[in-house]
Amino acid sequence: MDNHKAIEDRAAEFLARRDSGEWTAADDVRLNEWLVAATANRVAFLRLEAVWGEARRLKALGAGLSCGTAPPPGAWGRTPFFAGRESETDVTSVSGTPELRRNVGSGRTWLRWGAAAAILLAVLVSAYIYLVPRGDRYSTPVGEVASVPLRDGSRITLNTASMIRVDLTPKERRVDLERGEAFFVVAKDPSRPFLVEAGSKRVIAVGTQFSVRRDGNDVRVVVTEGAVRLESIGEEVHVSRLVGDATPQGSSGSAVSELARLTAGTIARTTDGDVLVQERSIPEAEEALSWRAGYLTFQETTLAEAVEEFNRYNTHRITIEDPKVAAIQISGTFRPTNYAAFLRLLESGYSIHSSSTEEETRLSMN
């Protein structure tokens, strides 16, 4: 799959040849095949075609004028929009001035305006590349999980209600996690680091497997293979590292800095300027990502946290009215979209009452 620059170059080649007068039926077939091959091809071609047309219009507006000559009053509105082929009678009818007649069909004037049009085209294309966000967007609706293969050999698994923007360049591979959660299996390429940005946090890898979950500006990173670097972008943070049940060891990080190196089995959470790094076993880290297999796994999890997870996968909301209910701890494995079975288990296993409408279920103590 071509990169953005290659697509832009190919679109420009088609436009230049079509404008040269040497366009053939075979060229038309090749163009149609290229346009059908990818949406990115069609977008690039239509965008450049619009710029190209504007450049040709400017060249036509200047036909018949010597370099540095301004048109007479009102001439812009009456000059025919045809490039350098007007008859002497046509041009005389526009203004009647000898200067305009002498320059009709002048190769030098055509070249000058052609060069100006080419410069304008280059400037507009460069401005577009600089100003318009690049990359492809992928998203999942509530309750859906999807796999996204990348052309570098990497693969992304998107969790429920998630959105990413992917931009692969010769120097780096960048993913902007706009919302939700994604698991990354990164193809090894030391010359092109793999960057995942989630709000003010950034995760950098070369070849590894990890997940990033974003809730607003709070981020959770789980590493299951290899190692990644967690960085902060533009904020002061405090880092606490927890090994087993030991007392957390703290350190401070400055703005735009490396916060921690995370190896396989590590789970890092960031919130309100703090980072908690927990070193777990790889099976424990994998358990936190059971959603990839279509399950939610809870181990002595408060019901409030469990309900929050279920609400991520369903439009039907579960709410808890009683703090005592919220504090109940549960363990088990559940299908995330089967909230009805989850509610039945709560009612049968605990003294919990549920009151449901079409949109919501409220939990309280019996």
pLDDT tens string 141-177:
999 999 999 999 999 999 999 999 999 999 999 999 9
**Same domain, yes or no, for 117 and 147?**
no
For 358, phi then psi, to 5°, come to -65, -35
In the chain, how many domains are there?
3
Determine the residue type at 42.
R
Does one domain contain both 126 and 145?
A: no
Q: Report the CATH number at residue 348.
A: 3.55.50.30
Within this chain, do residues 354 and 228 fall inside the same structural domain, yes or no?
A: no
Q: Using an 8 Å Cβ cutoff, are 272 and 307 in contact?
A: no
Q: Give the Å distances, CA to CA, from 358 to 315, 318, 334, 353.
A: 10, 11, 21, 17
| Shared-domain flag, residues 274 and 142 | yes
My answer on whether 282 and 354 are in the same domain is no
Residues 39 and 119 in one domain: yes
Last residue of a domain, one of 77, 110, 131: 131
Same domain, 248 and 262: yes
From 80, 105, 131, the end of a domain falls on 131
Contact 47, 84 (CB under 8 A): no
CA 184 to chain centre: 15
What CATH code is carried by the domain that includes residue 140?
A: 2.60.120.1440
Q: Is the pLDDT score of 245 beyond 60? A: no
Q: Are residues 268 and 318 in the same domain?
A: no
**Spatial CB neighbours of 250, under 8 Å, sequence gap ≥ 6:** 238, 239, 240, 241
Residue-wise pLDDT for 87-124, tens only, equals 333 333 333 333 333 333 444 444 444 545 554 454 44
The continuous run of DSSP H or E covering 327 comes out as: none
DSSP 291: G
Going by pLDDT thresholds of 50, 70 and 90, the confidence category of residue 1 is very low
Average pLDDT of the residues of the chain: 77
282 and 310 fall within a common domain: no
Amino acid 105: pLDDT? 44
Given 255, 287, 319, the domain boundary residue is: 287
Q: How far apart are CA 209 and CA 71, in angstroms?
A: 65
Report whether pLDDT(4) > 50: yes
**Is the entire prediction scored with pTM above 0.75?**
no
What is residue 162's DSSP assignment?
A: -
* Domain extent for 349: 295-365
Same domain, 147 and 74: no
Cα separation, 149 vs 194, whole angstroms: 14
- 77 and 10 housed in the same domain: yes
248 with 313, same domain: the answer is no
Mean pLDDT computed over 18-47: 78
